[in-house]
Structure 1
Amino acid sequence: MTNEKLETVIRNQARFLTSEKPFKLQIGQQEIECSPKFRLYLHTITQPIFIPKELAAYTLTLCFHVTLNDLEEIFLNRFMSEEKKHIHAEQHALLQEKVDTLKIIDPLRQNITNFLASDSLNLLQSVEPTKRLSDLKKAYDEATEGSHRVALQEENLLKTRNSYRKLAQRAAACYNIMHYLRQLSSKYVMPLEHFIDLFDSCISQSEKHSMGTVMTELTKSSFITIHRILNDRDRRVFAIYFAMEIESFNRRQNQQVDTSVPTGEREFIISPSWAISLLQKRGARVPNEHRFWSYKKPFDWMSDEAYLNLQYLAIFFDWFSDGFERMGKEGQEAKWRPLCEGETENYPLPSPLEQLEPIQKFCIVRALRSDRLLQASTVYVTNVFNQDSNKTKSLTQEHHMNQASSLSLQAQSTSRSATIPVTPTLQQDADLLTRQSSQRSVLLFYDDEPDEVVNFFLYCTNLIQTDSSTTAPMFQVVHVYGNGPNEERILKKALNKALTNNIWLLLHCIHNSPSFLSHVETALWELRSKRSLQTSSSQPPMPRIWLSIQRSYSFPSSLYNLSLIAYIRTPLSMKEAMTRAFSLIDTDLLRHSAKVEWIPLLHNICYLHCVLNLRTRFAQAGWDLPTLTSYTNVELTSAFQVVAREFALSDQSIVRLESAHTNSAVSNDANVRQLSWTSIRYALSELIYGARALTEYDQRAIANIVDFWIQPGSVKKDFEFSKIKYKIPAIFFAQQPKLGQLQQALESLSIHQLDAPEACHLHSTNETNLGDDLLIISRLNRIIDALPANTSLSAAVHQRPNTPVEDVTINTSLSYSNVMSTTFSSAALYSFANKKAIALEEYSAMILASKLPKVLTKDQILDRARRNGTPINSPFNVWIMREAQLMTDLVTLIRSNLQAIKVACDFNQLGTQWSIELANVAHALYYQRVPDVWREAVGPSAPSPTWGLNNFFPDLITRAEHIEKVLTKGMNIRSEKEFFLLINSNGISGREKHPAYNLSAFFHASSLFGIFKQEVAHALNLSDDANNGSLIFQCELTPRDREHIREPPKDGIFIYGLYLWGCSSDKNAVEHGISDGPSRNRDACSSLPVIHLTCVSADKAAQLVTQQQSGADTNSNSRTTTLDVYSCPVFYKRSIERRSNEVVCELDLWKKTNNVSQASRWAWRGVCMTVKPY
């Protein structure tokens, strides 16, 4: 509460409730008199759980939620009052006539009763009473007949009114979706008043269109409007949930499902095991007792998980039982195998499954291929929208039959779109927002790309169409930088000018000036109040005031009621990102050059820009420093300027311009200049995109990617990116294509084709799994959990929702996983609850008993070092003694923590008796994670917390054993010259040297390389200054197993324990070096064989490369063979937690290849080595 007056009044609420006489309150320097009858009501669209505790303590919170039935009546009444005014007026007249008739009938009935009850009445002796009674009866019959006539007319009007009820039900269903989206974020808000405006625009002039077309237009506008409010990841969740609600709506209309009982199909899509568990708890069926449970898997190539899911489908869902029985019959294998191996979602299902509803088909794909969830969800949404567009056409006939009107209206043409886009295009989004902004101001949210907001605003203004009778509106973009009085005065002047002259105004980054934001809000509220007092015909045009605010800024919630909301950022999808990038190109830039390479090159620059951003999504697989490597429209605009200038120089346009200024004749021969692709590539890779890369490895990758896409061969019509079978659309090679045609060509691309790792020159491995499917399903699960019991199976089974828990994670060796942290969902809790739980004290005792290695004491370490034959103060002994001591300290720390936990659990010394560090260790152990304090003790090679204790302890034992062996056996590092010198002087007699070093066992493996280089430098009599520059490492991959190595090499050392990322390696084919293919290991890395490491001078290394190159040329008879040498960096780990300066060393890898351009591929793939497999 920042308002002093309001805070004072609220905090003195008790005085208003208990006082009987007026009293005074001191507010600042003023004293005001208060009446005890004063009551304060506050209204907000904020959810009750987000109301500040300082305010909630003094207020009574009431939450008003409009039900689905209420929304239906609201929209139906709105339609009748806006579009069927004659029916609405006639209904009102009938109601008035009915009231008047009742006013007549009741007195007549009372008069007849009173007349018959009179004591003086004698019908047999007098004619007058009979006549009087007859008149009363006649009047009563006439009134009753009029009442029946009114009732009949009212019934006909009610039928007519109900004929439009499906439209109101669709509107209510669309708006109700927005209510449940708030489960994902409290910022997803759309006031009912805004949706009523959208409803009015869709039903406007509905007499000219069929009711089915109006319903499709309403669904389409609702989908685009809500889609615009959400962030990129939640937009996919929304599309699936929207399709589910629309399909459920259609099935309820057709009475295909029981509306009071959830079917469980939605839960099956979330998680088959979770859905079956819920269905069993509801008492549907028991799998073990069903006949399908005894069926054997008919195909060996089908996975056990897929067949089990199909069994569950057949047992619990009757619509699949027939198809499941036919699956084992002859001839069915050819129909089912493509579903399990290819693009399952696009392949037709065997008969009779092809006639199923879209969500039922989705369930089958979910059962077969859990790795195709994203693609299957897109096909599902497309099928639902197409089916809905077809079904709404039938509403036209039904509607006109209810009204008994002419069938000629059914064939009336309409200009409205009859399809709902699965992913709204930029033009559709901007066009709808521009039309809606005529009613309200626009609030644009952004995260970290303010330039995108300006570009989107300018794009929207370019869509405004004017003719000769109207003048083009004026536009202005005002950047708000500070909160000073002078700047605020200038801003207020610009705002008043825009309000007065009807200027399109964008107040960019208005959150930088909170006081001016408050002023703008007040001005918009005043403008709204004035317009509400005016009739629609006399209202002037609404000033177009657009505001942009950073999404993390805490702004007043009242802005939601004032403004339309849009979330602007670069899309995550490659297709949408390319469309957005191409929207920066205007007609002038498109016609800048007449060369055939110009328009395809613009396409390639957009693709290049989006590819570099796509690599950022793949984290360490894409860049060495992914968090610092991202690109905005600033780089894209600069790239356009660079190529435009180069093409202008090539076209001699600048020379002609200079000649016109100097009035001098210029020879054509002197001014002919060829297009310089080299200069374009240099500007893009070094000055624009490469300038944002902070490591030499990222710069090298950017340069190679630019070389691939910016070259004469990549802008030809027959060029194809073979990895994803992508070709530049043919329209880009047409003669003077229109800008709209190029945009449509990009929008017609496949949604998921370009989102693959191969699109940005990477291999598909577990490391490049973005985890979008897991995130989308988890957030969809959260929405389904919040649905009522007649829709959500989870709500129907559980009387209350499950209590959320923290850290529901899956331990995996994929510590580099790109999956974002997901919100709580009941399916995740179910999977976690099914794991076998072990008591904390039992687990601690088990680790202490069997999983900790035996380590040396400080005295034992010193004694081993003295007896290994190496001087005690030598660099090698200093290093290995330090390694042994670090291992001792780590194991001692682990043992002390486990013992303390075991003692605390045995004696119930819990709660506050634990230290914070011990509580954190116990918390991590409970979830089978590596505690942070242990990871800090490990050092730079520490694993991720999710690597799991089952991997951590075996690795710890292996490391301790190897360090002890190296400490015991001593040093065997030597150069070839030193080896012969030591033999002649009997320097190594009687000493058993360690044959090979496991780099993954050491805490500081980089020290071993430094010691090796130092020893070689001393043997060659090199100074320390010349050490680093004149000596380089060379490695040779050997086919030998580490178990078979008994003795060290004569020259250099044997090392192992390195892991290769970005490509693969096979020890059985070491003569070819590394292989340009994806790793087949589930950990996304390949374990390298034993490497023979040598350290030689730079001159000798060049000679060796020349010799191997000549050998490669002579061994190849048909094609020229080159030796591809790649300087591969070695890091401690692949995890994103790694710091940029944690480079162990660089090793040269080589590969014989016939492809001259092969050398660039290693930088594309982001090839590197690590000493740990995480």
Structure 2
Amino acid sequence: MHTITQPVCISKELAAYTLILCFHVTLNDLEEIFLGRFMIKEKPHIDAEQYALLQEKVDTLKIIDPLRQNITNFLASDSLNLLQSVEPTKRLLDLKKAYDEAIEGSHRVAVQEENLFKTRNSYRKLAQRAATCYNIMHYLRQLLPEYVMPLEHFIDLFDSCIFQSEKHSMGAVMTEITKTAFITIYRVLNDRDRRVFAIYFAMEIESFNRRQNQQLDLNIPTGEREFIISPTWAVSLLQKRGARLPNEHRFWSYKKPFDWMTDEAYQNLQFLAIFFDWFSDGFERMGKEGQEAKWRPLCEGETENYPLPAPLEQLEPIQKFCIVRALRSDRLLQASTVYVTNVFHQDSNKTKSLTQEHNPNQTASSSSQNPSTSRSTTIPVSPTLQQDADLLTRQSGQRSVLLFYDDEPDEVVNFFLYCTSLIQTDSSTTTPTFQVVNIYGNGANEERILKRTFNKALTNNTWLLLHCIHNSPSFLSYVETSLWELRSKRSSSTPSMPRIWLSIQRAYSFPSSLYNLCLIAYIRTPLSMKEAMTRAFSLIDNDLLRHSSKVEWIPLLHNICYLHCALNLRTRFAQAGWDLPTLTSFTNVELTSAFQVAAREFALSDQSIVRLESAHTSSAVSNELNIRPLSWTSMRYALSELIYGARALSEYDQRAIANIVDFWIQPGSIKRDFEFSKIKYKIPSIFFGQQPKLSQLQQALESLSIHQLDVPEACHLHSTNETNLGDDLLIINRLNRIIDALPANISLSTAVHQRPNTPVEDVTINTSFSSSNALSTSFSSAALYSFSTKKTVALEEYSAMILASKLPKVLTKEQILDRARRNGTPIQSPFNVWIMRETQLMTDLVTLIRTHLQSIKVACDLNQLGTQWSVELANVAHALYYQRIPDVWREMMGPSAPPPTWGLNNFFPDLIMRAEHIEKVLTKGREKHPAYNLSAFFHSSSLFGIFKQEVAHAINLSDDGNNGSLIFQCELTPRDREHIREPPKDGIFIFGLYLWGCSSDKNAVEHGISDAPARNRDAYSSLPVIHLTCVSAEKASQLVSQQQQGADATSNSRSTTLDIYSCPVFYKRSLERRTTEVVCELDLWKKTTNTGQASRWAWRGVCMTVKPY
């Protein structure tokens, strides 16, 4: 039996009855395979000549041995007398002459053989490059076992690249192999692993070129790759290998020459200079006069794009990457892109020099004789959609195509249709037909129809997409069997296969044999904003592009694509992007509907339609009267309410979508001079040209900077720690997995920490009662005892410490009632009922915590850890040992409960603060307590309800109209909460709120909230004391008018508007917050000179929480 599945993935039922052998083709074996393949396909005459010489060599050897034996026998004869007879001499001379001729023939064959061997070896670099590219795929399985490419597939790829190689330069063929392998492997991977693969691919290509130039020792890893992963980790490995300490080197005593350089960056540069000789000279010069102007730009701005000082600019790309990594770890993604670009550019130049070295006249002659057959000499850093689709379309003639997807089946159909649109036909060939068949798995009747459709497609050579074929496993088996039969019957005269494409959702299981049968492609909406815009624009065809002749039409199509991708980008930022990010996503269905809405609106106002209607009716109506102007309002309404807004389940997300749509779908956003100032983005100028081609528009989007749009500002958010996706850490960690798996002559970690070969060096025998197993059992028991003892001691000490100092004092029920009677508020008033419940909840929580801790302490004292515990107590002990908040405590805290990872060091001080504040409120009562800390209460929403009810009763408002006619208004005050001694005359003072999405400064409260990112590392701003009032809707409108008049009076130069934003208040920010956990909405007022400012707070997703998590 044979499978491409890894040995560790084989089921235990099968592994128990089989001997598993894992075959891995080494790099040298791959080199010989590809070299032999090239000679057979492109240079068959060399093999024929070599076979003829081999035959001649055998024939010569057959002559030499008998001649040598004849001469020996003749000279050994007893009757031989060379001095007395001439005949023996002549005989000997004839034998000698024949022998010399045979020897000369043998030498001639050897020389010709050597020449053929040199000719064969002149193509070895081509085979080595192909072996390097395929070997990369082997190590990608460290990221995901599904990353598979059978050697047979790569041989087909190799054959297509070397086809008619004599018409191209050797460098062009090598670049074609590299580019095709890169794109083919690239499309198998998911989006984040594609970036990992690009870096690893560039590392291998650069290492290949440096080995060819004898710049690297083949047996000693340099440690540069490990430095990219982590400078400190690389230094520790280099120390162990070289037994040299950094503090023993003279560079370690050097002082930092620039105050603006961080200590971490300078220490990394010291490590580079100590352990890498190529940087020592540059490090020496860094402290000299005049060097500050050269180094400072490297530590600020776009470090990766700034040239290095003179002696360092000539370094290899990975060495430059190490310098940027040492200086700016926050620019890792951008620096990796520049590194990959530099490697591919350098490789293209090296292949040109290889061409001149291999055949100086070949390039000029081939380009002059065959100008139409020239190949691209560049490798794309990120393959475009057209490059990927074009290559896959050409390769699909050899094998069927298997398209994987996750949760976007419509993307698969769009990709298939885009691939088929690239097929070019001439007058001599018939236009192929295309068909998409959706499979639902509805039983035998559907399967019969599917088989009939499939067989008809095979007969008519139709391009057929069997969409969602995983829904019918039996039909999938039938298709697989049919395709294998067709492949086995394929002859050299008809090498192409039927164009059958399959699509399978990745979560479903499918036969692993499909990897051998089909080409693999992973289809989903790209995470990169630039690639997502390119993919979105690919849905536009020429008919839609020429739908209207208005100058606004094509820029509007661009803005719709940008709008769609920006909304999806916000989803990546989770809670910072949407209120309900897991339920807010947008597919091509919404994008296509948006195109239809815009096309319908432009069709209604197009002058050509009016002229056409007038001509048909023979009416002489003026065109100007019949022209209907564009209704931007109707387009914005359809997009924000009917299409994109309909996908959002939160009213706050709907509000954000409406404001973003208002920004991008308006006349000012489709002008040539419009610029999105946050990221300095402008619509490409080709979109404003006269009838631009669709390919030109696509190329304009593909030429955008890769990382320019992958920032929070691109989707109207601020950059904070909350919007840090951590892609750089993920990519580095996954790249580390690959590097650790490399052999010892490449990976420094493998060279330092030797590991046995996988699976074992020799066959082992499974003996259940061997001495080694007994030893391991005793060791495991000792380790378990040591761990349990350590855990017992730690829990006992920690429980005793918490019980002694970290738990607040709480009130009993009698004490709670007594305090409530004496606080000056009626005992049955809503306020007293609420605060008594809050106090009782705090008492119950502290009592539960104390009970758990006492039980754990007693169990540890009696050495009963884990033996006489309930499940609940065991979970509490486990959480405490790992410094996590137990779930049972969090459940009792209600909607304001912290996440389990908030930490016990934060939990207990917060618990003490809450207990003290609740006790103060209970003691002073409603009339005397000056300010309320909302973060201290379990149900702070009740306080707002009580306050609104008090206002309603004061103005004689019925309970039925309470909610709709009363509005909360808040004013940020500069007062310090410790200095507030009395409550306000009107309303209440509140504090303990946290602002997300923007920032606030209590020293500049007259400006309200500021449209700037929060300076707190936790992405929130602590709000100052707020004066909260509650007024009727009529009075609120009067106050707004008064405030507006005051704003106009104080502003003499520019018109000032009053920005009012209804800010939602939640209990917490974390994802585990439920949709119903909304405390209230507070109206924030702010004077502004920007008329569009009001919408910005919804863009930013501004909200408040009563807890800082």
Q: TM-score range by the shorter chain?
A: over 0.9
Q: Distance in 1 between matches of 2:899 and 2:1015?
A: 22
The aligned amino acid for 2:332 is L
Q: CA deviation at 1:913?
A: 6.3
Alignment of 1:970 onto 2:913: no
Q: Distance in 1 between matches of 2:484 and 2:402?
A: 15
Q: CA deviation at 1:242?
A: 0.6
Equivalent residue in structure 1 for 2:121, among 159, 162, 182: 162
User: For residues 137 and 853 of structure 1, do their structure 2 counterparts lie closer, same or farther at Cα, with a shift above 3 Å needed?
Assistant: farther
Residue 454 (structure 2) aligns with: 495
Offset from partner CA, 1:95-151 (integer Å, 9 cap, x none): 222333334444545555666677887778887776666555544443333322222
User: For residues 411 and 673 of structure 1, do their structure 2 counterparts lie closer, same or farther at Cα, with a shift above 3 Å needed?
Assistant: closer
Do the aligned partners of 1:237 and 1:776 also contact (CA within 8 Å) in 2? yes
Q: Distance in 2 between matches of 1:200 and 1:906?
A: 74
Residue 828 (structure 1) aligns with: none
Equivalent residue in structure 2 for 1:947, among 879, 883, 902: 902
Alignment of 1:459 onto 2:414: no
Deviates more, 1:193-202 or 1:905-914: 905-914
Residue 695 (structure 1) aligns with: 650
User: For residues 170 and 58 of structure 1, do their structure 2 counterparts lie closer, same or farther at Cα, with a shift above 3 Å needed?
Assistant: same
Equivalent residue in structure 1 for 2:305, among 327, 337, 346: 346
Q: CA deviation at 1:752?
A: 0.8
Alignment of 1:444 onto 2:400: no
Do the aligned partners of 2:188 and 2:522 also contact (CA within 8 Å) in 1? yes
Q: CA deviation at 1:939?
A: 2.4
Q: Distance in 2 between matches of 1:146 and 1:927?
A: 83
Where does 1:886-925 land on structure 2 (aligned, <5 Å)?
Answer: 886-899=841-854, 909=864, 916-925=871-880
Q: CA deviation at 1:573?
A: 0.8
Residue 1119 (structure 1) aligns with: 1054
Do the aligned partners of 1:397 and 1:410 also contact (CA within 8 Å) in 2? no
User: For residues 135 and 895 of structure 1, do their structure 2 counterparts lie closer, same or farther at Cα, with a shift above 3 Å needed?
Assistant: farther
Q: Distance in 2 between matches of 1:596 and 1:407?
A: 46
Residue 834 (structure 1) aligns with: none
Q: Distance in 1 between matches of 2:222 and 2:138?
A: 22
Residue 1000 (structure 1) aligns with: 935
Where does 1:223-238 land on structure 2 (aligned, <5 Å)?
Answer: 223-238=182-197
Equivalent position SS for 1:1145: strand
Residue 703 (structure 2) aligns with: 748
Q: Distance in 2 between matches of 1:184 and 1:905?
A: 43
The aligned amino acid for 1:1166 is G
The aligned amino acid for 1:1082 is R
Q: Distance in 1 between matches of 2:793 and 2:327?
A: 33
User: For residues 408 and 502 of structure 1, do their structure 2 counterparts lie closer, same or farther at Cα, with a shift above 3 Å needed?
Assistant: closer
Alignment of 1:1145 onto 2:1080: yes
Equivalent residue in structure 2 for 1:177, among 136, 149, 160: 136
Residue 229 (structure 2) aligns with: 270
Where does 1:679-718 land on structure 2 (aligned, <5 Å)?
Answer: 679-718=634-673
Equivalent position SS for 2:465: strand
Q: Distance in 2 between matches of 1:295 and 1:248?
A: 32
Equivalent residue in structure 1 for 2:741, among 786, 811, 819: 786
Equivalent residue in structure 2 for 1:217, among 176, 185, 198: 176
Q: Distance in 1 between matches of 2:257 and 2:807?
A: 47
Do the aligned partners of 1:229 and 1:567 also contact (CA within 8 Å) in 2? yes
User: For residues 457 and 912 of structure 1, do their structure 2 counterparts lie closer, same or farther at Cα, with a shift above 3 Å needed?
Assistant: farther
User: For residues 47 and 916 of structure 1, do their structure 2 counterparts lie closer, same or farther at Cα, with a shift above 3 Å needed?
Assistant: farther
Q: Distance in 1 between matches of 2:867 and 2:416?
A: 56
Equivalent residue in structure 1 for 2:1015, among 1080, 1084, 1087: 1080
Q: Distance in 2 between matches of 1:943 and 1:140?
A: 98
The aligned amino acid for 1:339 is L
Task: List runs of 5+ in structure 1 lacking aligned partners.
Answer: 1-41, 804-836, 973-992
Do the aligned partners of 1:1072 and 1:1151 also contact (CA within 8 Å) in 2? yes
Residue 873 (structure 1) aligns with: 828
Deviates more, 1:295-304 or 1:739-748: 295-304
Offset from partner CA, 1:228-257 (integer Å, 9 cap, x none): 111111111111111111111111111112
Do the aligned partners of 1:483 and 1:514 also contact (CA within 8 Å) in 2? no
Name the count of aligned residue pairs.
1075
TM-score where L is the length of structure 2: 0.93
Do the aligned partners of 1:684 and 1:690 also contact (CA within 8 Å) in 2? yes
Q: Distance in 2 between matches of 1:371 and 1:954?
A: 34
Task: List runs of 5+ in structure 2 lacking aligned partners.
Answer: 759-791
Deviates more, 1:1011-1020 or 1:269-278: 1011-1020
Offset from partner CA, 1:361-407 (integer Å, 9 cap, x none): 11111111111111111111111110111111111122127xx9898
Residue 811 (structure 1) aligns with: none
Q: Distance in 2 between matches of 1:371 and 1:1025?
A: 56
The aligned amino acid for 1:1056 is F
Equivalent position SS for 2:115: helix
Do the aligned partners of 1:502 and 1:541 also contact (CA within 8 Å) in 2? no
Q: Distance in 2 between matches of 1:111 and 1:642?
A: 100
Q: Distance in 1 between matches of 2:804 and 2:172?
A: 73
Equivalent position SS for 1:444: strand
Q: Distance in 1 between matches of 2:463 and 2:116?
A: 45
Q: CA deviation at 1:770?
A: 1.4
Do the aligned partners of 2:793 and 2:860 also contact (CA within 8 Å) in 1? no
Do the aligned partners of 1:340 and 1:368 also contact (CA within 8 Å) in 2? yes
Equivalent residue in structure 2 for 1:474, among 433, 437, 444: 433
Alignment of 1:1107 onto 2:1062: no
Q: Distance in 2 between matches of 1:801 and 1:886?
A: 59
Offset from partner CA, 1:527-576 (integer Å, 9 cap, x none): 00000xx2x2x216421001111111111000111110111111111111
The aligned amino acid for 1:1038 is T
Residue 852 (structure 1) aligns with: 807
Equivalent residue in structure 2 for 1:595, among 536, 540, 550: 550
CA RMSD of aligned residues (A): 2.5
User: For residues 802 and 101 of structure 1, do their structure 2 counterparts lie closer, same or farther at Cα, with a shift above 3 Å needed?
Assistant: closer
Offset from partner CA, 1:176-201 (integer Å, 9 cap, x none): 11111111111111111111111111
Offset from partner CA, 1:182-222 (integer Å, 9 cap, x none): 11111111111111111111111111111111111111111
Where does 1:48-127 land on structure 2 (aligned, <5 Å)?
Answer: 48-109=7-68
Residue 958 (structure 2) aligns with: 1023
Residue 333 (structure 1) aligns with: 292
Q: CA deviation at 1:918?
A: 4.8
Residue 639 (structure 1) aligns with: 594
Equivalent residue in structure 2 for 1:1061, among 996, 999, 1003: 996
Q: CA deviation at 1:1121?
A: 1.2
Residue 313 (structure 1) aligns with: 272
Do the aligned partners of 2:169 and 2:362 also contact (CA within 8 Å) in 1? no
User: For residues 920 and 416 of structure 1, do their structure 2 counterparts lie closer, same or farther at Cα, with a shift above 3 Å needed?
Assistant: farther
The aligned amino acid for 2:888 is V
Do the aligned partners of 1:483 and 1:515 also contact (CA within 8 Å) in 2? no
Do the aligned partners of 1:841 and 1:902 also contact (CA within 8 Å) in 2? yes
User: For residues 846 and 289 of structure 1, do their structure 2 counterparts lie closer, same or farther at Cα, with a shift above 3 Å needed?
Assistant: farther
Q: Distance in 2 between matches of 1:1011 and 1:947?
A: 31
Alignment of 1:1094 onto 2:1029: yes
Do the aligned partners of 2:974 and 2:1003 also contact (CA within 8 Å) in 1? yes
Q: Distance in 2 between matches of 1:938 and 1:145?
A: 99
Q: Distance in 1 between matches of 2:194 and 2:793?
A: 40
User: For residues 272 and 134 of structure 1, do their structure 2 counterparts lie closer, same or farther at Cα, with a shift above 3 Å needed?
Assistant: same
Q: Distance in 1 between matches of 2:806 and 2:528?
A: 46
Equivalent residue in structure 2 for 1:650, among 600, 605, 611: 605
The aligned amino acid for 1:332 is Q
The aligned amino acid for 1:672 is I
User: For residues 917 and 265 of structure 1, do their structure 2 counterparts lie closer, same or farther at Cα, with a shift above 3 Å needed?
Assistant: farther
Do the aligned partners of 2:1068 and 2:1108 also contact (CA within 8 Å) in 1? yes
Do the aligned partners of 1:724 and 1:758 also contact (CA within 8 Å) in 2? yes
Q: Distance in 2 between matches of 1:914 and 1:796?
A: 48
Alignment of 1:883 onto 2:838: yes
Give percent identity, aligned residues only: 88
The aligned amino acid for 2:730 is L
Deviates more, 1:357-366 or 1:1091-1100: 1091-1100
The aligned amino acid for 1:1008 is L
Do the aligned partners of 1:400 and 1:407 also contact (CA within 8 Å) in 2? no
Q: Distance in 2 between matches of 1:121 and 1:81?
A: 55
Do the aligned partners of 1:285 and 1:316 also contact (CA within 8 Å) in 2? no
Equivalent position SS for 1:1074: coil
Deviates more, 1:612-621 or 1:934-943: 934-943
